[in-house]
Structure 1
Amino acid sequence: MNINFNLVKAVLFDFDGTLADSMWMWDDIDIEYLGSRGIALPDTLQKEIEGMSFSETAIYFKETFHLDDSLEEIKADWNRMAMDKYIHEVPLKTGVLEFLQLLKSDGIRMGIATSNSRELVDAALKSLAIQDFFQTVTIGCEVAAGKPSPDIYLKVAERLQVRPEECLVFEDVPAGILAGKRAGMPVIAVQDNFSDSMTEEKKELADMYINDYNEMIRLWKGGRTRRKQ
């Protein structure tokens, strides 16, 4: 499918692995969190929890690993373990800032649809100094079902007051790509080292695949009719 960038009124982004180079740290956190309880990290864990909201993931951990901690305690531990990494160790992916600036200059509305917690994504956006680009940030816990259900992307479109077909989604994993497609939106898959093993699946599911946002900037400029000044 060819994406008509002239029809796009809003761009919707996943956060981890899409805007921020942060997926690596969640594997480290899972290893540390489970290891402190004498549990080895299952090889299939990341695929099992792919797309789940923060709360859905906590439920999965509690039930799968028979944890005594409450759901709130589990989430509080994850927030504590991740906060310092988000503030000090997580960078933007290549070309993100320049692409956000380009979208803003073109009058494009922007929103985030993330499975992360409100505390972490707000802290990360502030640390990366990109919070002012986005008119809305929606987390998975605010909708009935996490990705691959379309709920979160439909909610972001509603908050931005645009129709689903006027949106363009950026995602890094298959569950997120499916969520965008099921919402009736074109989806561009973004390369991420964490999901390199899923590259072919991502290419099959998405309308387009990019290696970085510098590539996207060239595509956007070439695919939109520029207004004469």
Structure 2
Amino acid sequence: MTFEAAIFDLDGTLLNSMNVWEQIDIKFLQKRGLPVPTDYVVEICARSFEEAAQYTIELFGLSETIDDIIKEWNVMAAYEYTNNVKIQSYAMDYLLQLKSRGIKLAVATGLPKELFIPCLKNNSILHLFDVLCSTDEVRHGKECPDVFELAAKRLRVVPERCIVFDDVLPAIKSAKLANMIACGVYDKYSAHNQTEIEEIADSYILNFKQAPFPCKEV
């Protein structure tokens, strides 16, 4: 496997944060007297914040605007991301080893910068990344390759020499559409798609202790 850059999703991939969003989703819907559909978290996790808010409005027939919902989600999540959300097991060591090999690192996330920058700072890994990209900066969420293509462009690395780490099926499909190497990462919220992710991805890991390293020619 040959790559010059590694692009990382955050929620459920580099960050152990999906349980935070489950609790936020539950509280958000309970506040409105609404049940939490079993597939709700899975449905919104690959979408941008704007797309997730629009999906929520349409699903439940809410009267709030997209901006109102995003603001409420951000307020609910801000404290947790700033103080409590941690990186996944073995992730720090893997990032440091990639840096020592001269691999460029990027973030490609559906989170807004107001949430992920404090979180990366709190986990002492913000300085390791050469590029930070959010789906807020592009037209589509990770059901399309936009954010991955943006990361590659900013890194100045051709897509074929980039590896993408992500936990959700739509993102893995998009990484392949962008002609990038795709590595699926296990997360319990995406476990129902594990078989299909493994079929599409170039590799699949349960944790970053199993993550691949580039060939020596890089």
| TM-score in same-fold range (> 0.5) | yes
Q: Which amino acid aligns with 1:203?
A: E
Of residues 22-31 and 46-55 in structure 1, the stretch that sits farther from structure 2 once superposed is 46-55
1:194 alignment counterpart: 189
Q: Please, which of 80, 85, 108 is the counterpart of residue 90 of structure 1?
A: 85
Deviations 1:140-176 (A, max 9, x none): 1211111121111011100111100010110111011
Q: Please, which of 8, 11, 24 is the counterpart of residue 13 of structure 1?
A: 8
1:165 alignment counterpart: 160
1:54 alignment counterpart: 49
Q: Is 2:165 aligned against 1:174?
A: no
Q: How does 1:142-161 map to 2 (within 5 A)?
A: 142-161=137-156
How far apart are the structure 1 equivalents of 2:183 and 2:41?
21
How far apart are the structure 2 equivalents of 1:34 and 1:81?
13
1:119 alignment counterpart: 114
Q: Is the 8 A contact 1:49 1:57 kept in 2?
A: yes
Q: Is 2:22 aligned against 1:30?
A: no
Q: Which amino acid aligns with 1:140?
A: T
Q: Is the 8 A contact 1:51 1:147 kept in 2?
A: yes
Q: Which runs of 5+ in 1 are unaligned?
A: none
Q: CA deviation at 1:226?
A: 8.0
Deviations 1:115-155 (A, max 9, x none): 11221111211111111111111111211111121111011
How far apart are the structure 2 equivalents of 1:89 and 1:201?
32
How far apart are the structure 2 equivalents of 1:201 and 1:124?
31
Q: Is 2:210 aligned against 1:224?
A: no
Deviations 1:50-84 (A, max 9, x none): 41101111111122222222222211111111111
How far apart are the structure 2 equivalents of 1:45 and 1:212?
25
Q: Which amino acid aligns with 2:215?
A: R
Q: Please, which of 103, 107, 110 is the counterpart of residue 102 of structure 2?
A: 107
Q: CA deviation at 1:90?
A: 1.5
Of residues 35-44 and 80-89 in structure 1, the stretch that sits farther from structure 2 once superposed is 80-89
Q: CA deviation at 1:180?
A: 0.7
Of residues 20-29 and 189-198 in structure 1, the stretch that sits farther from structure 2 once superposed is 189-198
How far apart are the structure 2 equivalents of 1:21 and 1:202?
19
Q: Which amino acid aligns with 1:224?
A: C
How far apart are the structure 2 equivalents of 1:51 and 1:12?
15
Q: Which runs of 5+ in 2 are unaligned?
A: none
Q: What's the RMSD between the two structures over aligned residues?
A: 1.6
2:202 alignment counterpart: 207
State the secondary structure of the residue aligned to 1:197.
Answer: helix
State the secondary structure of the residue aligned to 1:137.
Answer: strand
Q: Please, which of 32, 41, 61 is the counterpart of residue 36 of structure 2?
A: 41
Q: Which amino acid aligns with 2:157?
A: V
